Amino acid sequence: MSDAAERKMQFLYALRSKGVTDKHVLTAMEKIDRAPFIRGLFSERAYEDMPLPIGCGQTISQPSVVGLMTQALEVSPRDKVLEVGTGSGYQAAILSQLARRVYTVDRHRRLVREAREVFEALDLTNITAFTADGSHGLPDQAPFDRILVTAAAEDPPGPLLAQLKIGGIMVLPVGQSDTVQSMIRVRRHETGFDYDEMRPVRFVPLVEGIARET
Ligand code: SAH
């Protein structure tokens, strides 16, 4: 077996062993190579199940966490999805394989610009990336079938709850500190929201406002 094929097999094995079992999610993660989303030195480590630095002081999430969050989101092919926290664009690329349309926002202009370049290079035409403060959601495109937040807030932001369709699902990390956070799944029904605490996670914080160019 070639080195590349072996690396891919190990990558998929690591995902399964951490609980990523949904076959559509695994197929998407098999298809979308993580390396193009990591610039510079760290791209060599793209197939390790580790978060890695991506610039602007941010990180690309650990693949197994991407898989588990995507799985918890229960995306269907007709869904319109909002991701808050584009970062490298890797999570959005995985979502693009499962959903009809993906909107993704980040407060760092540079990360949005770089992610767009990768989406274009990989011909992922159903993703639209914006520079915006995602804690306000994306009112012009709302409501959404699914919302995924990849930065941690103390509580689910009100505007995001409001922009979730009835029957919709939002997955997000919540926590009072940088170190103790839980992944939460919120389902909206006719009369309110159900909350489901799923597992401990660790994400960078959701920060208000657009970042100043560095
Ligand atoms: N999903 C990314 C990793 C996210 S890291 C990936 O697949 O690579 C978290 C990202 O959330 C960072 O890029 C950070 O800039 C962004 N972020 C933090 N607060 C935000 C906010 N209020 N609005 C939009 N993006 C935010």
DSSP string, 20-62: ---HHHHHHHHHS-SGGGS-GGGGGGTTSSS-EEEETTEEEPP
Whether this model's pTM surpasses 0.85: yes
The catalytically annotated residue of 43, 61, 88, 96 is 61
For position 74, what pLDDT does the model report?
A: 98
Residue 214 has pLDDT above 70, yes or no: no
Å from CA of 38 to ligand 1 middle:
15
- What average pLDDT score do residues 11-21 get? 97
Q: Looking at ligand 1, which atom is closest to the CA of residue 54?
A: 8
Say how many C-beta atoms besides its own lie within 10 A of residue 84's C-beta. Answer: 27
* Residue 135 designated active-site: no
Q: Looking at ligand 1, which atom is closest to the CA of residue 204?
A: 9
Where residue 1 falls among pLDDT bands split at 50, 70, 90? confident
Kindly report, residue by residue over 91-138, the tens digit of the pLDDT.
999 999 999 999 999 999 999 999 999 999 999 999 999 999 999 999
Residue 153 has pLDDT above 80, yes or no: yes
